[in-house]
Each structure stands twice: as structure tokens, then as C-alpha cells.
Structure 1
Amino acid sequence: MTSTVENVMTTEVAAVNRSAGFHTVAELLISRGVSGMPVLDDDNRVVGVVSEADLLAKQEFKERYYGDDYRPPLRARIRHASGSEGSGYRKSLGETAGDLMTSPAHVTTPDAPIVSAARLMDRHGVKRLPVVDPGGRLVGIVSRRDLIKVFLRQDQEIEQEVRTALHGQAEVTVHDAVVTLTGTYAERSQAVTALRLAGNIDGVVAVRDELAYKHDDIADLPMWGGA
């Protein structure tokens, strides 16, 4: 089984319309206990994401230009040096969610594999992704915490799924989501495939290889590019 975003996402999402005022955005972030949320247009389509950092730009730039002793944190200095100064200054003047938001938003879909969502978060350095339907309308949100839920599967559940995937051709034991495979295959390639299939099961932390094989069919393959 490959878990999808739909299996772990949250459907009750804190979100704001792009016309929502600064105070409304701040109040909702605090009351819902979140550090960021989607910004929507009038058709419920995701047009951006607004975060605590976006709101803090106002105070950061105020102190930067008017505070004698203010020294921006390292992250802010790197951001300013990288050329996003204009964006930060724009946000410091913002009055609505549309002014403050980061756009376009990085989004995912309900049918996306959770590994794809995890890679997207890592690539863009974000902690959450709005989940949208084919029309771009908000249907949920998925966070890093949601994605690690897959590793909470019970050992017995994982063991049964691995046995099914391997058609009972290897002995399977699971402890703390670590799978150990033992037994003998006719061909080495079959053992390699078994290890790959077990490792692809959702919730598996690692696979320990205690498999044997009677014939190394991989070594028999011709070497291309040789003399």
C-alpha cells in the first residue's frame, strides 16, 4: 500500500481571504495555534500562504530602519543579501493577507504519494502544503507532522503487508518497524526484488537482509562498455 496525502491531511483548515486585514490574520494565527495558513481568492482557490514571518516583516523593517541598536538575525541578513529586500519591504507596508502573503503557494493534491509531498516540502523549505482539487480549490492541508504518521503503523500490520507483497516466499519478522527477511531464493535477482518490495511498504523504517540465493544471475549479466 502506498499512502497518499488524502490519508493523512487535515480537512479543517485555518485559511483567510486575500482581503483579510493584518489584525484578522494575526488573530487567526494565534487562535488556531498555527504558524502559517493558505490565502484564498473569492472562489476558494489558493493564491498564496501567509505566515508569522510575513507578519513579522513589518516589525523587522520598522526596527531595521528606525531602531539604532537593531541588528537583523542571520536568516534575515541572508535574505536581504540574496535580493529579496524589495519583497520584505513590501510586506512591511502590507495591510491585507494579499499584501503579506508569499505567492505562488507550493501545493499538493489528495492523490499525491506522501513521499512526493515530503520531497516538495524539503525542496522549498516549507513546513506545510495546502491540498487542492483539480480546480485549485482548497480541500485540506498537510504538515510535516502529518507525513510522519505513516511510521506509526503497527508491526503486525506491516508484517502482513510485506508477506502479501512477497507472496509468502520469504520469512518475515518485524520489530519497531524494522523488517528482517530470511530464506533462500533460486536467483539473486529475486532476493534483490524482495528487499526492494519490503522497503517500499509504508511505515518500514529499514530492511535487514538475511536472504540467501542459489544462483547469482546478476553476475551472469553481460558487462557493457568493456574492451
Structure 2
Amino acid sequence: MNGTPALVNDVMTHRVVALRAGATFKDIVKVMREWQVSALPVLDDAGRVVGVVSEGDLLAKEEYQDGDIGRYGRVRHPAEVRKADAVTAAELMTSPAVTVAADATPAEAARVMARARVKRLPVVGRDGRLRGIVSRSDLLKVFLRDDEDIAEEVRREVVVRLFGPHTTTVRVEVRDGVVTLAGGVRETALIPLAARLARAVAGVVDVRCALAGPPRRPDLDPDLPEPHRAHTP
């Protein structure tokens, strides 16, 4: 990653297969089996992501083949039953698609995945066109980043920015992704911020902060009892 902040574009899978809206049910199953994936993005004629077809969407055809009739003859899940009659990607897909921008951070992508409860996301450019796919395993690649690479970014983006370019009293060490900040700084109020910013650097597993403010000067004028003044007549 050459010291630059990691983006989704850096870790995503660039070679990806997608569907057109008119793709048929059997073709979708064949593509999923061939590519060994459980979900596929659906594109419009301009290459923009308009939906996603998952294995769950396809299984509705099997699950509700005879209609899922509950008590009193009512269909329990009408939306899923409608998918059981679907034969094209446009009819099967979940829309709008949950996507992530190529210039988002892995942390942002992870939050989107968690909220949407999905295992992978289509990655789109500013024009909405498909750029790739990012999966949970892709997001974990950032933790393979070289320790010296991480240390260089922490020095440049945290230490220099917070404490100035001529700071020589702060040491940055990284081992197995764990960052140690040590040394003395004048602005003690910035110490918690330094730890928080270091933790946000891509590939950082943990931060151990041993920064401290300047040593206190000894009190050269202790409070001593005032000497008794001599009484003068």
C-alpha cells in the first residue's frame, strides 16, 4: 500500500461478474455455480448497479413453489411468493442495491456490511458504475500491511500533524500491527487524540500509548512558615 491510506479500491476484487436485468433464472444459477458466488449485482444498460440477486432470492422459487399458505388460507410472505414466480434478474433482484464507494475506507465498508447484514458489497465509482466487489475477507487484507509501512503513516499523519514537523521526542514502533507511541510532548491535551488517530490508521490492530507531558519542575520556593520578625521598639 506504499504508505498511503487504504481504500476499498485497494482491497476489493476487481474482476467481477454481473448480470443484466434480462438474465434468466437458469442462467443466474449457472453463473453463481461457475463463479462460486452467492450473490450477483444487476446492471442497467449504462453499467450502473440497480440491484443484487442472491441465493436467497432464488430459493424462494423452491420454498414457495406451492405457495406458503398459513392459517385461514392466507399467504404468509406475499413478497417472497411473488419472487417464486419470477424468471428474470429484474424480477428476482433486491433493489435498490446496497453499495459502497471505491474511495470509501475499509472501516466505512465494514459498517455498511454490518448495517445491511450482507457478506459482500458491489463497489461503485462516482458515476454509479460497477468497479468491483468487496467481501469480508477482502476487508481483512488491510491487516496484512507491513509494520514499517504502518509506522511511517503514523509518523507522518499523526505525530507530525499533531506535534509539528520537527518533533524528535516521540517514538513510533509497530510490531504485528500493534503501535506503540512513546516519548514526551508539550501539549498533553493532544495525547488522547494521538492515540485515537493512530488507531484509525489502516492495518492497526491496537495502540499502546506511553506519551507523557514535560516533567514538572521542582518547587524551588516551598511554602515555609514566615519567619518571626524581630520586634523593634
Tell me, yes or no, whether TM beats 0.5.
yes
Q: Does 1:152 align with 2:144?
A: yes
Report the alpha carbon displacement of residue 64 of structure 1 after superposing the two structures with TM: 6.4
Aligned to 2:32: 29
Question: Equivalents in 2 of 1:188, 1:105: separation in Å?
Answer: 46
Aligned to 2:56: 53
Aligned to 1:3: 6
Aligned to 1:183: 183
Report the alpha carbon displacement of residue 195 of structure 1 after superposing the two structures with TM: 1.4
- Which aligned segments of 4 or more residues in structure 1 are displaced greater than 4 angstroms? none
Contact kept in structure 2, 1:121 and 1:128, CA below 8 Å: yes
Query: Matches of residues 140-219 of structure 1 in structure 2 within 5 Å?
Result: 140-165=132-157, 166-167=159-160, 168-214=168-214
Q: Is 184-193 or 140-149 further displaced after alignment?
A: 184-193
Q: Would the alpha carbon gap of residues 212 and 27 (structure 1) be closer, same or farther in structure 2, given more than 3 Å must change?
A: same
Structure 1 portions without partners, runs of 5+: 67-79, 217-227
Q: Given residue 105 of structure 1, which amino acid in structure 2 is its aligned partner?
A: A
Give the TM-score normalised by structure 2: 0.78
Q: Is 115-124 or 15-24 further displaced after alignment?
A: 115-124
- What CA deviation, in whole Å up to 9, does each residue of 1:28-68 have, x standing for no partner? 001001110101122222110001111111111126649xx
Contact kept in structure 2, 1:186 and 1:215, CA below 8 Å: no
Question: Equivalents in 2 of 1:199, 1:20: separation in Å?
Answer: 45
Report the alpha carbon displacement of residue 111 of structure 1 after superposing the two structures with TM: 1.6
Contact kept in structure 2, 1:188 and 1:215, CA below 8 Å: no
Q: Would the alpha carbon gap of residues 138 and 195 (structure 1) be closer, same or farther in structure 2, given more than 3 Å must change?
A: same
- What CA deviation, in whole Å up to 9, does each residue of 1:97-126 have, x standing for no partner? 111111110112222222222111111111
Q: Given residue 57 of structure 2, which amino acid in structure 1 is its aligned partner?
A: D
Give the TM-score normalised by structure 1: 0.80
Aligned to 2:119: 127
Aligned alpha-carbon RMSD (Å): 2.2
Question: Equivalents in 2 of 1:19, 1:90: separation in Å?
Answer: 17
Q: Given residue 115 of structure 2, which amino acid in structure 1 is its aligned partner?
A: R
Q: Given residue 188 of structure 1, which amino acid in structure 2 is its aligned partner?
A: T
Contact kept in structure 2, 1:187 and 1:215, CA below 8 Å: no
Aligned to 2:43: 40
Contact kept in structure 1, 2:50 and 2:96, CA below 8 Å: yes
Q: Percent identity among equivalent residues?
A: 47
Structure 2 portions without partners, runs of 5+: 70-74, 161-167, 217-233
Report the alpha carbon displacement of residue 162 of structure 1 after superposing the two structures with TM: 1.7
Report the alpha carbon displacement of residue 214 of structure 1 after superposing the two structures with TM: 2.9
Q: Given residue 181 of structure 1, which amino acid in structure 2 is its aligned partner?
A: L
Q: Would the alpha carbon gap of residues 133 and 190 (structure 1) be closer, same or farther in structure 2, given more than 3 Å must change?
A: closer
Question: Equivalents in 2 of 1:21, 1:108: separation in Å?
Answer: 26
Q: Would the alpha carbon gap of residues 192 and 93 (structure 1) be closer, same or farther in structure 2, given more than 3 Å must change?
A: same
- For the pair shown, the structure with the greater C-alpha radius of gyration is 2
Contact kept in structure 1, 2:68 and 2:81, CA below 8 Å: no
Question: Equivalents in 1 of 2:154, 2:105: separation in Å?
Answer: 19
